[in-house]
Amino acid sequence: MHQSDTIFRTICLAGAMLALLLTAGILIQLCIHSSEAWQHFGISFLWSSEWDPGMDAYGALPHILGTLLTTGLALLLSIPLAFAVALLLTEAPDWLNRPLSQCVDLLAAIPSVIYGMWGLFVLVPLMQNHVQPFLNKTLGLANLPGGSWLLGEDGYSSGFGFLTAGVILALMVLPYMSAVMRDVFRMTPPMLRESAYGLGCTRLEVTRDVVARYGIRGIISGIFIGMGRALGETMAVLFVIGNLMESPAGLFSCGTTIAATLANNFAEATGLQQSALFALGLILLLMSFGMQILTRYYLTRTGARRGENN
Amino acid sequence: MTPRPLFFRKAGNQLLNLFALLSISTALGGMGWILYTVLQHGTPVLSWDFLTSPSKPYGEPGAGVANALLGTLLMTLGATLLAVPPALAGGIYLAEFGKNSKLADTLRFCANVLMGLPSILVGLFVYALLVATTGQFSGFAGTVALAIIMFPVIMRTTEDMLLMVPDTLRESALALGMTRMRATLSIVARSARNGLATGILLSLARVSGETAPLLFTALFADTWPGGFFSEPTASAPVLITEYTTNSPFESMHAMGWGTALVMALFILIINIATRFIFHENKH
């Protein structure tokens, strides 16, 4: 090998190694800086729900639950929508498909802070004045068992809260999920699809029995991608969640997520509080890692079963 | 299989069609609504003064957002300068040298993890790395945070783009006696240059709207970005956050909308332009 090639290869390797270095660096830094909190509170930090800077007592439970609830709501709302959008984009004729695809891609390009602003000034009043009273009074959901959990004790809502955050997140992750799903649906061999149509299947049946089965891995990885984004999204949630350091009391109650707590408190925090915030960051990091590893595990396992080498 | 009545099959199918139509209108309607709101509230405040004077505390006349726009521009360009060389090198390694080796697989996985990492954690990392050690919030810290977000995206795009170059091109370059380096740089990378440029521009547009990693690295300031390496530096997304969540004043909300409009226009123009360039090249 030519000598310049060896040098070139080394430089390239160094660039690529930066990925490993950064990943390890972030993990190590968060561990080091959160060690004080872990020593102080022990593992019970995970299920303690206090947050009192005056007493220097901190717990992670409300933040973890809030993160899981907003993510769950966002997925619940966006999965069916993303699936249908992806389906429509695959089946639509070319002249319609291309502009629609580009619009959906542009939706992904809007910065999250603009989503947040829109949520704060448009969606919050809408939820407060129309959606919540509609669910509560017109549909009378509050009288059903569990209704008070859904809609709050006294049926009053400020418009802020988990459901509002979930709606915004759903809108944000929708383009990501549908882009992945669309690419997978396109890979369904046309022969398979057309033979199903040829047998007289309706579009619903082709979708359910052929396209969805063939593309199940893509659907699931699309969902994982959306979930990863929803977990760590900060700004859009921060604007509409209400920032209350309490465990979720209902869909319309205010609360917080890990990312929102970090954004709100980190710049002013010192000492043990800062360490506790780093610990929250570590928890979020592990959640995000866990998702990635799970996705990869799922893809390799199903890949092996299908005889693909992935 | 029990036979199903045709009526229900057709009805189910119609329901699916209806639902698909409903979904796409939700997605597009949401986008239209957001853009409409930004336009509606943003256009009245846009003026030459708004774009050229620096931000001031509430009540002082003649306030604008120019320092924040300049700060965003500096940080985004700085991040591009920092992130692009190692990211291109890394992408070349993955596509040309590493291929399916164990090491390349690990690095690829790391890059994926980094891409999926919540951006606020990058802010935490840079805080611990640069702000806690020097004791100063600075525009440079924000730049590094944005660069870390850009890096894995460009690296993976580079790899994908280089893999799309046919192997015959590589082989002919090597057969002509080129070194691996020359073949890669002046043949393979050259034929993929449109894709590379698109990837870089798109990730540039994306990080220009990132807020979370700047909240505790670059912070915010009502001054021009003079002490870029030693002082808090304003940026457009953080200005929006400050003006809308921490201020009860209508006029500040309006300025937030104006900034949002400028940002949205910038990002949409880059997105549409890249699409156009890339598209044109394919034909």
Residue B263 has pLDDT above 90, yes or no: yes
How confident is the model at residue A309, as a pLDDT? 44
Residue A310 has pLDDT above 50, yes or no: no
In a domain, B103, yes or no: yes
**Chain A residues in contact with B122 (beta carbon < 8 A):** 26
**Chain A residues in contact with B16 (beta carbon < 8 A):** 84, 87, 203-204, 207
Residue A303 has pLDDT above 80, yes or no: no
Beta bridge partners of A52: A57
| Closest chain A C-alpha to B19 CA, distance in angstroms | 7
pLDDT band at A145; cut points 50, 70, 90: low
Could you say which of B27, B41, B184 has the minimum Cβ distance to residue A107? B27
How confident is the model at residue B119, as a pLDDT? 92
Beta-carbon separation of B38 and A102 below 8 A: no
Instruction: Quote the mean pLDDT of chain B.
Output: 88
State the average pLDDT over residues B54-80. 87
- Report how many domains make up chain B: 1
Beta-carbon separation of B209 and A121 below 8 A: no
How confident is the model at residue A306, as a pLDDT? 64
State the average pLDDT over residues A280-305. 86
Instruction: CATH number of the domain at A130, please.
Output: 1.10.3720.10
In a domain, B159, yes or no: yes
Give the chain B residue nearest A228 (alpha carbons).
Answer: B116
**Burial bucket for residue B72 (CB in 10 Å: 0-12, 13-18, 19+):** buried
Residue A149 has pLDDT above 70, yes or no: no
pLDDT band at A120; cut points 50, 70, 90: very high
**Sign, CA torsion A133/A138/A143/A149:** negative
**What is the C-alpha to C-alpha distance for residues B264 and B275, in angstroms, rounded to an integer?**
16
In a domain, B206, yes or no: yes
Instruction: CATH number of the domain at B138, please.
Output: 1.10.3720.10
Q: For B16-52, what is each residue's pLDDT tens digit? A: 889 988 988 988 898 899 999 999 999 998 888 888 8
In a domain, B258, yes or no: no
Residue A144 has pLDDT above 80, yes or no: no
pTM: 0.91
Beta-carbon separation of A122 and B37 below 8 A: yes
In a domain, A310, yes or no: no
> Could you tell me the residue range of the domain that residue B172 belongs to?
65-235
How confident is the model at residue A155, as a pLDDT? 56
**Chain B residues in contact with A228 (beta carbon < 8 A):** 116
In a domain, B283, yes or no: no
**Chain A residues in contact with B206 (beta carbon < 8 A):** 109
Could you say which of A14, A25, A203 has the minimum Cβ distance to residue B16? A203
**Chain B residues in contact with A284 (beta carbon < 8 A):** 118, 120-121
Chain A segment 129-158 residues within 8 A of B by beta carbon are: none
Q: Is the CB of A171 inside 8 Å of chain B's CB atoms?
A: yes
Beta-carbon separation of A122 and B33 below 8 A: yes
How confident is the model at residue A68, as a pLDDT? 93
The pair of three-digit structure tokens given for residue A114, joined into one six-digit string: 């603009």
Which of A31, A115, A235 should be substituted to probe chain B, the one whose Cβ sees the most B Cβ atoms within 10 Å? A235
Q: Is the CB of A55 inside 8 Å of chain B's CB atoms?
A: no
- Report how many domains make up chain A: 1
State the average pLDDT over residues B186-190. 90
pLDDT band at A243; cut points 50, 70, 90: confident
Give the chain B residue nearest A239 (alpha carbons).
Answer: B245
Beta-carbon separation of B19 and A106 below 8 A: no
Residue B283 has pLDDT above 50, yes or no: no
Give the chain A residue nearest B266 (alpha carbons).
Answer: A110
Beta-carbon separation of A202 and B13 below 8 A: yes
How confident is the model at residue A141, as a pLDDT? 67
Could you say which of A8, A15, A110 has the minimum Cβ distance to residue B87? A15
State the average pLDDT over residues B155-160. 92
The size of the A-B interface in CB pairs under 8 A is 268
Residue B233 has pLDDT above 50, yes or no: yes
pLDDT band at A77; cut points 50, 70, 90: very high
How confident is the model at residue A150, as a pLDDT? 65
How confident is the model at residue B276, as a pLDDT? 78
**Chain B residues in contact with A291 (beta carbon < 8 A):** 116
Residue A279 has pLDDT above 80, yes or no: yes
Beta-carbon separation of A110 and B264 below 8 A: yes
pLDDT band at B70; cut points 50, 70, 90: very high
In a domain, B30, yes or no: no
How confident is the model at residue A18, as a pLDDT? 94
Q: For A10-31, what is each residue's pLDDT tens digit? A: 999 999 999 999 999 999 999 9
What is the share, in percent, of chain B residues with pLDDT greater than 90? 43
Among B155, B164, B160, CA closest to B112: B155
In a domain, B49, yes or no: no
In a domain, B207, yes or no: yes
Beta-carbon separation of A15 and B88 below 8 A: yes
Maximum CA extent, chain B? 77
How confident is the model at residue A203, as a pLDDT? 85
More confident position, A148 or A186: A186
Chain A segment 5-24 residues within 8 A of B by beta carbon are: 5, 8-9, 11-20, 22-23
pLDDT band at A55; cut points 50, 70, 90: confident
Count of C-beta atoms within a 10 Å radius of residue B178: 17
How confident is the model at residue B264, as a pLDDT? 92
Could you say which of B31, B37, B121 has the minimum Cβ distance to residue A106? B31
Give the chain B residue nearest A21 (alpha carbons).
Answer: B110
Alpha helix stretches (DSSP H) within chain B:
6-42, 48-52, 66-92, 102-116, 119-126, 132-134, 139-163, 167-175, 180-182, 189-191, 193-208, 236-245, 250-282
3-state secondary structure of B215: coil
Residue A301 has pLDDT above 70, yes or no: yes
Q: Is the CB of A289 inside 8 Å of chain B's CB atoms?
A: yes
Say if the ipTM goes beyond 0.95. Answer: no
Residue A212 has pLDDT above 50, yes or no: yes
Measure the CA angle with vertex B190, ends B189 and B191; round to 5°: 95
Beta-carbon separation of A16 and B94 below 8 A: yes
State the average pLDDT over residues A44-64. 86
Residue A239 has pLDDT above 80, yes or no: yes
A109 Cβ partners below 8 Å, 6+ apart?
B202, B205, B206, B267, B268, B271
Residue A289 has pLDDT above 50, yes or no: yes
> Could you tell me the residue range of the domain that residue A88 belongs to?
3-305
Specify the range with the lowest mean pLDDT, choosing from A51-65, B66-80, B168-182, B269-283.
B269-283
pLDDT band at B74; cut points 50, 70, 90: very high
Among B118, B115, B80, B87, CA closest to A17: B87
Residue B237 has pLDDT above 70, yes or no: yes
Residue B162 has pLDDT above 70, yes or no: yes
